[in-house]
Amino acid sequence: MWRAARCVWRAGGGRQLSTSAVAGQRQAAQVAVVGGGAAGFYTAARILARNRTARVDIFERLPTPHGLVRFGVAPDHPEVKNCMSKFDQVAADPRVRYFGNVAVGAEGGDGSGLAAQLPLDAARAAYGAVVLAHGASRDRHLGIPGEGGAGGHAGVLSARQFVAWYNGLPEAQSLAPDLLSHDRVVVVGHGNVALDCARILLTPPDELAATDITAQALAALRASRIRHVEMVGRRGPLQVAFTTKELREMTRIKDLRIVCDRALLEAECQSPAGAEYLAASRPLTRMMDLLLKHCESPSAAAAGAAEKTFTLSFLRSPIEVLYDQPWGDAGTVPQLVRFRANRLEGPPAAARAVATDATSASPCAMVLRSIGYASVPLAGAPFDAARSIVPNAAGRVVDAAGQIVPGLYVAGWAKRGPVGVIATTMQDAYRTADAVLMDIDNGHIAASDETSQEAVDRMLAAEGVAAAHVTNDAWKRLEAFEAAAGAAAGKPREKVTDVATMLSIIRGEAK
Ligand SMILES: Cc1cc2nc3c(=O)[nH]c(=O)nc-3n(C[C@H](O)[C@H](O)[C@H](O)COP(=O)(O)OP(=O)(O)OC[C@H]3O[C@@H](n4cnc5c(N)ncnc54)[C@H](O)[C@@H]3O)c2cc1C
């Protein structure tokens, strides 16, 4: 039975559109999705499930789909990657076309120079709706002296790039992290990405050998001298952003001692404000219990001359990175990161780090900054540079004046910033898809027919996309190649890590 629905379309302070629609009558529509990550695939899945006549084209700048599920999620978390089978089902739907190796609205190209470039304006003119789901492919900087390197040193590396290096993202393969010139790494940040980096650096390489970590990264980790990782945060134990599951994994690493300032930990947990805060949060209570159970104070760990340590440092902000510095009996250390000590102000839920005069320093082979990802603007789409997101009202893109940009939508990390796991991204993508579906029903998105399908194909041919793109079948050939190479090495896949080789395998040129 069909039912008339009324929709009010408003973006904070912008114009208001009110229109009647027949909710059950779903018009055919052609939707382009920019980005073949979790948000792109979940948006497509929802649109296809709720509108049987919609067609979705997914554009991905790399030949390979799956975004951070392939290039971010840690190799020793294979269960998290099960969502790829859902993405495979979406890609196999006859109403979906996968266009790998096509960058949409990418300023400065895709990085490899091998992808076709599709201007966003051309896509918007041909499709009824374009959903931006291009994620967050940049990272935030510390903004401190020495961060950019000196004296031949590359400087502070981003955890994003380090993760991308061990996961095989083509543009990160020249990273060459220093795992040899000292036995310590400093990671700035107290989130799950920081913990992923620490865990990969401290896990015995034999235990990673059966994962899909790249052969190059595994070889470097086998040769690594790193025995100590210090993870530094500006606030206290009650403000950490990582989760208990990831912390528990650290407690299970063989021969690893976990170190932190126990006196501070106990004081924070037992203070009246801390106890009240913990009483209101079972997850945080579990996390603090785990820390209290496993953490040793620095002096106890030193007395035991631990072979490997993972140190959680609180109330410290980096202020400078120096290179080739004299350091006690050690002679010269490759990097020295200097910290300012902080104290906390305010209740635990909103505690602010306030600088004190005290300073300290840690020697290391390299510093990884892990203080958040940031999205990048696409040419032809509004961008909120302060928040590093595409500005939107519940998934509908809005311009600087708060007006809805007709036919343009955003989902995932590009929409709400780099927070949330895959399940959160899925929910978020569904909300954006629902906005698209509503606008199809309300006639805000042009209904498509055979003529508009032909117009899309003409536009793709004119822009050089039709000739250069990687289809889903072609990607599946590459995936089969990776699986076969992985099987030979006892791994789920051996990723191909450069775009030119990917393309030659796909085109049947590789031997
Ligand atoms: C290091 C790390 C580890 C994580 N581990 C977990 C975990 O264990 N469990 C969990 O649930 N979640 C995890 N997450 C979170 C999860 O990865 C994200 O929630 C999710 O990937 C966000 O999806 P997205 O589609 O918004 O972005 P992405 O996954 O980044 O997808 C965006 C896609 O868009 C493509 N793209 C970019 N620009 C263009 C363009 N101009 N044209 C065409 N395509 C473009 C990119 O190549 C990419 O494929 C992790 C995240 C990180 C960073």
CATH number, domain of 265, equals 3.50.50.60
**pLDDT tens sequence across 388-400:** 999 999 999 999 9
CB-based contact 314:264 (threshold 8 Å)? yes
**One-character DSSP codes across 450-511:** HHHHHHHHHHHHHTTHHHHPBPHHHHHHHHHHHHHHHHHTTSS------HHHHHHHHTT---
- Does residue 167's CB lie within 6 angstroms of at least one atom of ligand 1? no
62 lines ligand 1 (CB under 6 A): yes
Q: How buried is 316 (Cβ within 10 angstroms: 0-12 exposed, 13-18 middle, 19+ buried)?
A: buried
Residues 194 and 111 in one domain: no
- Rounded to whole angstroms, the Cα distance separating 350 from 328 reads 39
Q: Cα–Cα distances in Å, from 163 out to 15, 175, 197, 370?
A: 43, 11, 7, 10
| CB atoms near residue 400 (< 10 Å) | 9
In the reported structure, the alpha carbon of residue 324 is separated from the centroid of ligand 1 by a whole-number distance in angstroms of 36
Q: Helix, strand, or coil here: 297?
A: coil
Residue 417 and residue 271 share a domain: no
Is the beta carbon of 35 within 6 A of some atom in ligand 1?
yes
Per DSSP, helices labelled H in 174-322 are 192-202, 205-208, 215-223, 244-251, 262-270, 272-279, 282-294, 298-303
Which residue's C-alpha comes closest to atom 30 of ligand 1? 135
CATH number for the domain harbouring residue 400? 3.40.50.720
* pLDDT value, residue 18: 34
End-of-domain residue from the set 356, 371, 386: 371
In-domain check, residue 7: no
What is the Cα 316 distance to its own chain's centre? 25
Name the pairing type of β-strands 138-139 and 373-374.
antiparallel
Q: Which of 71, 99, 101, 134 to mutate to test the pocket of ligand 1 (most atoms within 8 A of CB)?
A: 134
180 in the same domain as 162: yes
278 lines ligand 1 (CB under 6 A): no
Residue 352 lies inside a defined structural domain of this protein: yes
256: Cβ–Cβ under 8 A, 6 or more apart, which residues?
202, 250, 306, 308, 309, 310
Q: Are the C-beta atoms of residues 131 and 409 closer than 8 Å to each other?
A: yes
Tokens read off for 17: 């559109």
CA-closest residue to ligand 1 atom 7: 73
Atom of ligand 1 nearest to the CA of 40: 25
Number of folded domains that form the chain:
3
| Tokens 């805060």 -> residue | 277
Q: Which of 253, 180, 187, 185 is nearest to 220 (CA)?
A: 180
Q: Is 106 in the pocket of ligand 1 (CB under 6 A)?
A: yes
Pocket test for ligand 1, best of 73, 76, 245 (most atoms within 8 A of CB): 73
Is residue 327 domain-shared with residue 213, that is, in the same domain?
yes
Q: How far apart are CA 74 and CA 68, in angstroms?
A: 10
Residue 505 covered by a domain: yes
The residue nearest atom 53 of ligand 1, judged by CA position, is 72
Instruction: Please write the tens of the pLDDT for every residue from 463-489.
Output: 999 889 999 999 999 999 999 999 999
Which one-letter DSSP state was computed for residue 348? G
CA of 397 relative to ligand 1 center, distance in Å: 20
Residues 286 and 393 in one domain: no
DSSP lists the bridge partners of residue 369 as 158, 188
179, 302: one domain: yes
Distances in whole angstroms, Cα of residue 436 to Cα of each of 44, 100, 157, 206: 10, 23, 39, 47
Domain that holds residue 506: 471-511
Q: How many alpha carbons fall within 13 Å on the CB side of residue 3?
A: 4
Element (H, E) at 90: helix 83-92
32 lines ligand 1 (CB under 6 A): no
In a domain, 256, yes or no: yes
* Domain-terminating residue out of 353, 371, 389: 371
Indicate if 145 and 127 belong to the same structural domain. no
CB 367 within 8 A of CB 162: no
251 shares its domain with 351: yes
Whether residues 464 and 488 fall in one domain: no
Q: Ligand 1 pocket, 60 CB below 6 A?
A: yes
- Evaluate: CB of 171 within 6 angstroms of ligand 1: no
Closest by Cα among 207, 257, 204, 202 to 76: 207
Which of 371, 404, 424 terminates a domain? The answer is 371
Ligand 1, closest atom to CA 193?
1
194 shares a domain with 124:
no
Distance CA 75, CA 211 (A): 6
Burial status of residue 276 (CB atoms within 10 A of its CB: 0-12, 13-18, 19 or more): exposed
Which parts of the chain register pLDDT below 70? 1-25, 108-111, 301-306, 510-511
What is the C-alpha to C-alpha distance for residues 351 and 148, in angstroms, rounded to an integer? 30
Both tokens assigned to 368: 């990884």
CB atoms within 10 A of CB 449: 12
Q: For the stretch 472-499, what's the b/e string if a residue is b when 16 or more beta carbons lie within 10 angstroms of its beta carbon?
A: bebbeebbebbeeebeeeebbbbbbbeb
Same domain flag for 489 and 463: no
Candidates 447, 506, 314; CA nearest to 21 is 447
Count of alpha carbons within 13 angstroms of residue 218, beta-carbon side: 17
Q: How far is the CA of 483 from the centre of ligand 1 (A)?
A: 22
- Residue 399 in domain: yes
Q: The dihedral of CA 199, 205, 206, 211: what is its sign?
A: positive
Q: Ligand 1 in contact with 59 (CB < 6 A)?
A: yes
Do 183 and 145 lie in one domain? The reply is yes
Q: Which pLDDT belongs to residue 17?
A: 36
Q: Tens digit of pLDDT for each residue in 419-450?
A: 999 999 999 999 999 999 999 999 999 888 87
At 10 the pLDDT is: 38
Report the atom number in ligand 1 closest to the C-alpha of 420. Answer: 19
Cβ–ligand 1 distance for 137 under 6 Å, the answer yes
Q: Which amino acid is at 73?
A: V
- Inside any domain, residue 19: no
CA-based torsion, 488, 469, 40, 170: positive or negative: positive
Per the listing, tokens 């820390």 go with 291
In short, whether 40's Cβ falls inside 6 Å of ligand 1 is: yes
Let me know if residue 5 belongs to a domain: no
Hey, is 185 helix, strand or coil?
strand
Question: Is residue 307 in some structural domain?
Answer: yes
